[in-house]
């Protein structure tokens, strides 16, 4: 028996309360921006600076043992990751210990590094400390600028792609949805003060791609139906298109969420922030593809016949009150 989340031939009206959906989105965007302006983000080691200690031992790396040893030192934020390399011997276990710089300090002090090494040596007698490297606030500041530039360039590339693929109204609708998703994701990290590091930037770029994929699927069907139903008002064409792609949209989102929830529960602390960002991004990305991008398209209006060049086309078909 085939699983169906949505019955065939649905006829939900997504635009009867379009002002409500835009109002909810606008309110969440404002809250996210205010939270970012007032509280800021809880930057991790990547953006705040810190020290990385590379260790090696014959004992298998157990991050729990490392954390228990370093916990009483009051180091603030620290991260332990195991390093894998095919060239390593069977008894060569390498780990990277990353310690956040303390408030008001350029880097972790030598005394703190010695205390960390002593604490680890007590629980892992044969441990060796291969190298110690520090990242200052200047490098971290450059990382923040580069990360922000990466997100802006990704959204700009999407604007150009959708403009060439469809029409400028589609492009603005898609970009509005992407900006909505990025702001809400940054806002929830600011509001909950979850650690924000380079992994979250990777999640933001992934969310942009996921949301864009959903939006393009809907817009592709909208363009087909605009040619098919030349007499229908734009709001009805959008409703038909979203209903026709609704099953695909929800099935994709739910199956993605199942995998992400499993990773969030079982994946450990190292990837939990990234997975949380992805879960939130999938939810708001699905929402924005249906309610934000399409509503912006309805508001702007679109050309109904791509076979004829008409300089007067515009929003005369966007009967929002329909």
In a domain, 322, yes or no: no
Q: Which residue has the higher pLDDT, 105 or 162?
A: 162
Here the tokens at position 64 are 């729990």
Most confident listed range (80-84, 132-136, 237-241):
237-241
Here the tokens at position 45 are 């080691």
Predicted confidence at residue 321, as pLDDT, reads 45
Most confident listed range (33-47, 130-144, 247-261):
247-261
Q: Exposed, middle or buried, 315 (CB in 10 Å: 0-12/13-18/19+)?
A: middle
Domain boundary among the residues 101, 135, 169 is at: 135
User: Per mean pLDDT, which range of 173-182, 245-254, 295-304 is the poorest?
Assistant: 295-304
Q: How far apart are CA 151 and CA 204, in angstroms?
A: 7
pLDDT band at 18 (very low <50, low <70, confident <90, very high): confident
The 10 Å Cβ neighbour count of residue 259 is: 11
pLDDT of 322 above 70 = no
Domain boundary among the residues 135, 161, 183 is at: 135
The backbone torsions φ and ψ at residue 131, rounded to the nearest 5 degrees and listed phi first, read -160, 160
Predicted confidence at residue 41, as pLDDT, reads 84
pLDDT of 107 above 80 = no
Domain boundary among the residues 118, 135, 152 is at: 135
What is the DSSP track for 106-167?
A: SS--HHHHHHHHHHHHHHSTT-EEEEEEEE-HHHHHHHHHHHHHHHHHHHHHHHHHHHHHS-
User: Do residues 169 and 209 share a domain?
Assistant: yes
Q: Which residue has the higher pLDDT, 79 or 114?
A: 114
In a domain, 57, yes or no: yes
Q: Strands, E, within the chain: which ranges?
A: 42-43, 50-57, 78-83, 93-100, 128-135, 195-196
pLDDT of 308 above 60 = no
Say which CATH number the domain at 259 has.
1.20.1640.10
Q: What pLDDT digit, counting tens, does each position of 209-248 carry?
A: 888 888 888 888 888 888 888 778 888 888 888 888 888 8
In a domain, 277, yes or no: yes
Predicted confidence at residue 275, as pLDDT, reads 92
User: Do residues 85 and 232 share a domain?
Assistant: no
Average pLDDT score over the chain? 80
Task: Give the residue-averaged pLDDT of 135-155.
Answer: 75
The backbone torsions φ and ψ at residue 269, rounded to the nearest 5 degrees and listed phi first, read -70, -25
User: Do residues 172 and 272 share a domain?
Assistant: yes
In a domain, 105, yes or no: yes
In a domain, 274, yes or no: yes
Say which CATH number the domain at 67 has.
3.30.70.2040
Here the tokens at position 171 are 């492009």
Q: Which residue has the higher pLDDT, 281 or 230?
A: 281
User: Do residues 25 and 110 share a domain?
Assistant: no
pLDDT of 289 above 90 = no
Number of domains in the chain: 2
User: Do residues 74 and 216 share a domain?
Assistant: no
DSSP label of 103: T
Predicted confidence at residue 248, as pLDDT, reads 83
Q: How far apart are CA 33 and CA 55, in angstroms?
A: 41
Structural domain harbouring 296: 18-42+140-300
pTM, to two decimals: 0.73
Q: Which residue has the higher pLDDT, 317 or 35?
A: 35
In a domain, 245, yes or no: yes
Predicted confidence at residue 7, as pLDDT, reads 63
User: Do residues 163 and 107 share a domain?
Assistant: no
User: Do residues 96 and 74 share a domain?
Assistant: yes
């Amino acid at each position: 028996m085939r699983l169906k989340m949505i019955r065939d031939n649905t006829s939900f009206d997504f635009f009867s309360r379009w002002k409500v959906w835009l109002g909810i989105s606008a309110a969440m965007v404002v809250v996210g921006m205010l939270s970012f302006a007032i509280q800021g983000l809880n930057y991790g080691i990547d953006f705040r600076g810190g020290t990385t200690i590379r260790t090696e031992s014959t004992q298998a790396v157990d991050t729990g043992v490392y954390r228990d040893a370093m916990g009483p030192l009051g180091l603030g934020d620290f991260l332990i990751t195991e390093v894998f390399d095919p060239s390593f011997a069977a008894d060569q276990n390498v780990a990277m210990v990353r310690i956040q710089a303390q408030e008001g300090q350029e880097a972790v002090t030598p005394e703190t590094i010695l205390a960390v090494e002593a604490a680890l040596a007590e629980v892992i007698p044969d441990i060796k400390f291969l190298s110690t490297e520090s990242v200052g606030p200047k490098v971290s500041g450059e990382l923040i600028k580069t990360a922000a530039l990466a997100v802006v360039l990704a959204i700009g590339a999407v604007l150009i792609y959708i403009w060439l693929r469809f029409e400028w109204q589609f492009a603005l609708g898609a970009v509005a949805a992407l900006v909505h998703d990025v702001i809400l994701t940054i806002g929830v990290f600011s509001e909950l003060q979850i650690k924000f590091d380079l992994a979250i930037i990777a999640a933001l770029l992934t969310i942009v791609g996921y949301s864009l994929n959903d939006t393009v699927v809907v817009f592709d069907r909208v363009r087909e139906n605009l040619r098919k139903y030349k007499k229908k008002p734009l709001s009805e064409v959008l409703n038909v298109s979203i209903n026709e792609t609704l099953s695909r949209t929800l099935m994709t989102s739910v199956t993605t969420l199942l995998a992400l929830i499993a990773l969030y529960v079982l994946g450990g602390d190292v990837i939990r922030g990234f997975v949380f960002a992805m879960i939130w991004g999938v939810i708001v990305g699905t929402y924005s593809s249906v309610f934000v991008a399409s509503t912006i398209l309805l508001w702007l209006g679109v050309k109904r016949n791509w076979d004829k060049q008409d300089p007067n086309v515009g929003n005369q078909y966007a009967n929002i009150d329909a």
